[in-house]
Structure 1
């Protein structure tokens, strides 16, 4: 686990507690159960590039990102990273690994930039699930949505070209509550390229093409979606 993580539960600030209460992972828990989980929670403060957990490690917590960005990734046989997902503030991750044999992590997690992550005690989380069928169904629903997202992601990566994947990524990010028509690129372009399984130079070429078509504009680390309907039309055509 991360070297700068808290070794014991800490008292969380109100802003953190409010964010956790809105997390899909914890919404179904009663106030009493939620308070118990919060009392045992740990704050992991990660420097840029610092690992939160590594593949094949036993999992002792499930996580909610509070600030910064976390990349979930595999390492290829030749040592290259394949980014599976980028976790933003308010999003939870690693809960699916609770139900794997031995509670073992099947990917790596590291901070893309300075980040704060809350770790929820996995044993207590599972104990509450064991007491309540309704909680189990809630988590099953969450996992089902995650599985469907992964199936859709496989479809995007195998059946659609790089332009489709980038446009989908922009529109998906556009749906995030923190964004309107302007998307702040909180991570380097090569990270986004890895996430979309394209080369960095390919990503730059597609961005240039979208700019020339009047669909987006790029200013430093911000992308403005100039024509959202036009971008959606590209998806509907399958590009």
Structure 2
């Protein structure tokens, strides 16, 4: 998102994390801008009974935990390494200075935040329909259209059924049942427990975006 060289020039440092390691906790103060270089990070809330409410899975090249950088409030959710990952972190004053000096980056950064908000509106509206099959099928279709969480080579869905459940608030058993029904409709393929999107679905999504 922001060139790594520019972040380093501004004083950013690398941080490596193992899978499951916490980047920051909900409620803690925000001291850094975080940008993912390699791996994946889950941005989520953890309920008192240990259930995970998944807001977003961050991919390489994306930033996360940005809102506190502008309002000074603590983090509203936790960030946890989903896989081994490398992060660039830049202290907040230096990040603000970088944005002031680079209005084009500031504009791109704002655009990225708007995209994340649009996804939250999309998901909220989707969940209000209270139909599990509609929720899962439209969510997968959305990711397909955006080219996210779908392997570009093998067309495998890069989200687990548990992650889909955590993202939608559905029971994982419900997600499994919905995906099996989608397989019967030839809307997905399941091979050795992995979910694949048929090539015709990929093409339709690309044409719809175009």
Same fold flag (TM > 0.5): yes
Provide the alpha-carbon RMSD of the alignment.
Answer: 2.7
CA contact 1:215–1:231 (8 Å) conserved in 2? no
How many residues align? The count is 200
Q: Structure 2 vs 1, CA of residues 101 and 59 (structure 1 numbering), >3 Å: closer, same or farther?
A: closer
Shift of 1:209: 0.3
- The reply on whether 1:57 has 2:25 as its aligned counterpart is no
Is 1:47 equivalent to 2:18 in the alignment? yes
Return closer, same or farther for 1:197/1:143 CA change in 2, 3 Å cut-off: same
Q: Which of 73, 76, 83 matches 2:44?
A: 73
**Separation of aligned partners in 2, 1:138 and 1:203:** 35
Q: Is the 8 A contact 1:37 1:124 kept in 2?
A: no
1:220 counterpart = 2:189? no
2:99 aligns to what SS in structure 1? helix
Deviation string 1:21-53 (CA, Å, 9 cap, x unpaired) is: xx2xx26xxxxxx64422322222211211010
In the TM superposition, what is the alpha-carbon distance from 1:153 to its structure 2 partner?
1.8
Q: Which runs of 4+ in 1 moved over 4 A?
A: 131-135, 229-232
Deviations 1:149-168 (A, max 9, x none): 22122111223522222223
Flag the 1:46–1:135 CA change in 2: closer, same or farther, 3 A. Answer: closer
TM-score normalised by length of structure 2: 0.81
Unaligned runs of 5+ in 2: 206-210
Task: Give how far 1:181 is off.
Answer: 6.2
Q: CA deviation at 1:229?
A: 7.7
